[in-house]
Amino acid sequence: MYVIVVGCGRVGSDLAGRLSRRGHDVTVIDYVGSLFKHLDPAYRGRTIEAESMGEGVLKRAGIERADALAAVTNSDATNAVVGHVARTVFKVPTVVVRNYDPRRRMLHEALGLQTVSTTAWGSQRIEELLESPVLRSVFSAGNGEVELYEATVPAAWAGRTVSELVAGTGCSPVALAHAGRAGVPKPESRLEVGDLLHVGATIDSAARLRVRLEEKEARS
Protein backbone atom coordinates (compact mmCIF):
# COMPACT_ATOMS: atom_id res chain seq x y z
CA MET A 1 0.00 0.00 0.00
CA TYR A 2 1.25 3.48 -0.86
CA VAL A 3 0.47 6.07 1.83
CA ILE A 4 1.09 9.82 1.98
CA VAL A 5 1.42 11.30 5.47
CA VAL A 6 1.00 15.07 5.63
CA GLY A 7 2.65 16.44 8.76
CA CYS A 8 5.74 15.14 10.54
CA GLY A 9 5.04 16.13 14.12
CA ARG A 10 4.62 13.59 16.92
CA VAL A 11 1.60 11.90 15.33
CA GLY A 12 2.84 12.00 11.75
CA SER A 13 6.34 10.74 12.47
CA ASP A 14 5.06 7.88 14.62
CA LEU A 15 2.45 6.93 12.03
CA ALA A 16 4.98 6.99 9.19
CA GLY A 17 7.34 4.81 11.19
CA ARG A 18 4.64 2.29 11.96
CA LEU A 19 3.53 2.07 8.34
CA SER A 20 7.10 1.77 7.11
CA ARG A 21 7.88 -1.04 9.56
CA ARG A 22 4.84 -2.92 8.28
CA GLY A 23 6.27 -2.81 4.77
CA HIS A 24 4.16 -0.05 3.27
CA ASP A 25 5.54 2.52 0.83
CA VAL A 26 5.34 5.90 2.58
CA THR A 27 5.99 9.55 1.73
CA VAL A 28 5.95 12.23 4.43
CA ILE A 29 5.32 15.89 3.60
CA ASP A 30 6.14 18.78 5.91
CA TYR A 31 7.25 22.35 5.27
CA VAL A 32 9.57 22.25 8.30
CA GLY A 33 12.43 20.03 7.22
CA SER A 34 13.93 19.77 10.70
CA LEU A 35 10.89 17.75 11.81
CA PHE A 36 12.02 14.80 9.72
CA LYS A 37 14.54 14.08 12.47
CA HIS A 38 11.61 12.69 14.48
CA LEU A 39 11.25 9.81 12.03
CA ASP A 40 12.34 6.37 13.16
CA PRO A 41 15.95 5.72 12.07
CA ALA A 42 14.62 2.59 10.37
CA TYR A 43 12.18 4.62 8.23
CA ARG A 44 12.73 3.80 4.57
CA GLY A 45 10.18 6.06 2.90
CA ARG A 46 10.51 9.42 1.14
CA THR A 47 10.35 12.89 2.64
CA ILE A 48 9.31 16.10 0.90
CA GLU A 49 10.06 19.46 2.47
CA ALA A 50 7.29 21.66 1.14
CA GLU A 51 3.96 23.22 1.99
CA SER A 52 1.40 20.47 1.36
CA MET A 53 -1.03 22.89 -0.28
CA GLY A 54 1.66 24.35 -2.52
CA GLU A 55 1.27 24.02 -6.26
CA GLY A 56 2.16 20.55 -7.49
CA VAL A 57 3.34 19.25 -4.10
CA LEU A 58 0.74 16.51 -3.76
CA LYS A 59 1.36 15.40 -7.35
CA ARG A 60 5.10 15.34 -6.67
CA ALA A 61 4.35 13.08 -3.72
CA GLY A 62 2.54 10.70 -6.06
CA ILE A 63 -1.00 11.30 -4.88
CA GLU A 64 -2.40 10.04 -8.18
CA ARG A 65 -1.26 6.53 -7.27
CA ALA A 66 -1.80 6.76 -3.52
CA ASP A 67 -3.93 4.15 -1.79
CA ALA A 68 -4.34 6.26 1.33
CA LEU A 69 -3.55 9.69 2.76
CA ALA A 70 -3.38 10.87 6.36
CA ALA A 71 -3.44 14.62 7.05
CA VAL A 72 -2.16 14.95 10.63
CA THR A 73 -0.73 18.45 10.97
CA ASN A 74 -1.64 20.66 13.94
CA SER A 75 -3.68 22.90 11.61
CA ASP A 76 -7.30 21.80 11.30
CA ALA A 77 -7.76 23.99 8.22
CA THR A 78 -4.80 22.39 6.46
CA ASN A 79 -5.97 18.90 7.32
CA ALA A 80 -9.47 19.65 6.10
CA VAL A 81 -8.35 21.16 2.77
CA VAL A 82 -5.74 18.49 2.02
CA GLY A 83 -8.16 15.72 2.98
CA HIS A 84 -10.95 17.19 0.88
CA VAL A 85 -8.71 17.61 -2.17
CA ALA A 86 -7.30 14.10 -1.81
CA ARG A 87 -10.76 12.58 -1.62
CA THR A 88 -12.68 14.64 -4.17
CA VAL A 89 -10.04 15.68 -6.73
CA PHE A 90 -7.58 12.79 -6.68
CA LYS A 91 -10.07 10.11 -5.58
CA VAL A 92 -7.72 8.63 -2.99
CA PRO A 93 -9.59 5.55 -1.67
CA THR A 94 -8.84 6.07 2.02
CA VAL A 95 -8.42 9.51 3.59
CA VAL A 96 -8.10 10.14 7.34
CA VAL A 97 -7.62 13.57 8.90
CA ARG A 98 -6.62 14.62 12.36
CA ASN A 99 -8.76 17.01 14.36
CA TYR A 100 -6.52 19.06 16.64
CA ASP A 101 -9.04 21.46 18.21
CA PRO A 102 -12.37 19.77 19.13
CA ARG A 103 -14.17 23.08 18.55
CA ARG A 104 -13.31 22.79 14.86
CA ARG A 105 -14.29 19.16 14.47
CA MET A 106 -17.51 20.17 12.72
CA LEU A 107 -15.41 21.50 9.83
CA HIS A 108 -14.09 18.03 9.07
CA GLU A 109 -17.44 16.37 9.59
CA ALA A 110 -19.15 18.86 7.26
CA LEU A 111 -16.77 17.76 4.50
CA GLY A 112 -17.58 14.13 5.17
CA LEU A 113 -14.00 13.30 6.15
CA GLN A 114 -13.04 10.35 8.32
CA THR A 115 -11.72 12.12 11.39
CA VAL A 116 -9.66 11.19 14.44
CA SER A 117 -9.88 13.75 17.23
CA THR A 118 -6.81 13.01 19.33
CA THR A 119 -7.54 15.70 21.91
CA ALA A 120 -11.17 14.70 22.46
CA TRP A 121 -10.30 11.01 22.51
CA GLY A 122 -7.51 11.51 25.04
CA SER A 123 -9.58 13.62 27.42
CA GLN A 124 -12.43 11.12 27.23
CA ARG A 125 -10.10 8.23 28.16
CA ILE A 126 -8.70 10.18 31.13
CA GLU A 127 -12.21 11.06 32.29
CA GLU A 128 -13.21 7.39 32.26
CA LEU A 129 -10.13 6.32 34.20
CA LEU A 130 -10.66 9.04 36.79
CA GLU A 131 -14.34 8.24 37.28
CA SER A 132 -14.00 4.50 37.71
CA PRO A 133 -11.52 1.73 36.94
CA VAL A 134 -14.27 -0.90 36.93
CA LEU A 135 -14.99 -0.42 33.23
CA ARG A 136 -12.10 0.18 30.82
CA SER A 137 -12.15 1.18 27.18
CA VAL A 138 -9.98 -1.14 25.09
CA PHE A 139 -10.99 -0.16 21.56
CA SER A 140 -12.48 2.97 20.04
CA ALA A 141 -14.42 3.21 16.79
CA GLY A 142 -14.59 6.52 14.98
CA ASN A 143 -13.94 9.26 17.52
CA GLY A 144 -15.17 7.31 20.50
CA GLU A 145 -18.87 7.32 19.63
CA VAL A 146 -18.86 3.53 20.03
CA GLU A 147 -16.26 1.66 22.06
CA LEU A 148 -15.37 -1.79 23.25
CA TYR A 149 -15.24 -1.86 27.04
CA GLU A 150 -13.76 -4.48 29.35
CA ALA A 151 -15.32 -5.13 32.75
CA THR A 152 -13.93 -7.39 35.44
CA VAL A 153 -16.84 -9.21 37.06
CA PRO A 154 -16.98 -8.36 40.80
CA ALA A 155 -18.03 -10.79 43.52
CA ALA A 156 -21.46 -9.18 43.76
CA TRP A 157 -22.34 -10.38 40.25
CA ALA A 158 -21.05 -13.95 40.62
CA GLY A 159 -23.71 -16.45 39.59
CA ARG A 160 -25.83 -13.85 37.79
CA THR A 161 -26.35 -13.95 34.04
CA VAL A 162 -24.98 -11.72 31.31
CA SER A 163 -28.49 -10.63 30.38
CA GLU A 164 -29.18 -9.51 33.95
CA LEU A 165 -26.04 -7.38 33.97
CA VAL A 166 -26.62 -5.56 30.69
CA ALA A 167 -30.42 -5.37 30.69
CA GLY A 168 -31.59 -1.83 30.04
CA THR A 169 -28.09 -0.38 29.70
CA GLY A 170 -27.89 -0.41 25.91
CA CYS A 171 -24.61 -2.38 26.01
CA SER A 172 -24.08 -5.31 23.64
CA PRO A 173 -22.09 -8.27 25.02
CA VAL A 174 -19.27 -9.24 22.67
CA ALA A 175 -17.05 -11.71 24.55
CA LEU A 176 -16.79 -13.37 27.94
CA ALA A 177 -13.40 -14.64 29.09
CA HIS A 178 -12.96 -17.14 31.92
CA ALA A 179 -9.61 -18.60 32.99
CA GLY A 180 -7.96 -17.14 29.91
CA ARG A 181 -10.42 -18.61 27.41
CA ALA A 182 -12.92 -16.38 25.64
CA GLY A 183 -16.20 -17.12 23.94
CA VAL A 184 -19.25 -15.34 22.62
CA PRO A 185 -21.60 -15.04 25.61
CA LYS A 186 -25.22 -16.13 25.55
CA PRO A 187 -27.86 -14.20 27.48
CA GLU A 188 -28.03 -17.04 30.00
CA SER A 189 -24.24 -17.32 30.43
CA ARG A 190 -23.33 -17.28 34.13
CA LEU A 191 -20.74 -14.82 35.41
CA GLU A 192 -17.94 -15.77 37.76
CA VAL A 193 -15.67 -13.57 39.87
CA GLY A 194 -12.76 -12.29 37.80
CA ASP A 195 -14.35 -13.03 34.43
CA LEU A 196 -13.69 -10.41 31.78
CA LEU A 197 -16.79 -9.25 29.96
CA HIS A 198 -16.37 -7.20 26.80
CA VAL A 199 -19.28 -5.08 25.63
CA GLY A 200 -19.86 -2.70 22.75
CA ALA A 201 -21.29 0.55 24.03
CA THR A 202 -21.75 4.26 23.55
CA ILE A 203 -20.51 6.63 26.24
CA ASP A 204 -24.00 6.87 27.76
CA SER A 205 -24.68 3.12 27.79
CA ALA A 206 -21.24 2.44 29.27
CA ALA A 207 -21.99 4.96 32.02
CA ARG A 208 -25.19 3.07 32.88
CA LEU A 209 -23.31 -0.23 33.06
CA ARG A 210 -20.61 1.35 35.23
CA VAL A 211 -23.23 2.60 37.69
CA ARG A 212 -24.82 -0.85 37.82
CA LEU A 213 -21.51 -2.56 38.54
CA GLU A 214 -20.54 -0.06 41.23
CA GLU A 215 -23.94 0.02 42.93
CA LYS A 216 -24.11 -3.77 43.11
CA GLU A 217 -20.57 -3.91 44.50
CA ALA A 218 -21.34 -1.26 47.10
CA ARG A 219 -24.37 -3.22 48.37
CA SER A 220 -22.47 -6.50 48.63
Domain co-membership, 93 together with 184: no
Domain co-membership, 151 together with 109: no
Q: Which of 88, 118, 148 is the last residue before a domain boundary? A: 118
CB atoms within 10 A of CB 126: 10
What pLDDT was estimated at residue 40?
A: 93
Inside any domain, residue 47: yes
Q: How many domains does the chain have?
A: 2
Reported as a single tens digit per residue, the pLDDT across 108-129 is: 777 788 888 777 767 766 776 6
Domain co-membership, 105 together with 18: yes
What pLDDT was estimated at residue 214?
A: 83
Reported as a single tens digit per residue, the pLDDT across 54-105 is: 999 999 999 999 999 999 999 999 999 999 999 999 999 999 999 887 777 7
Domain co-membership, 196 together with 100: no
- Cα 17 to its chain centre, rounded Å, is 17
Residue that wins the pLDDT comparison between 168 and 132? 168
For residue 182, give its domain range. 132-219
CATH assignment at residue 214: 3.30.70.1450
Vertex 112 angle, CA 75 and 24, to 5°: 70
What pLDDT was estimated at residue 135?
A: 82
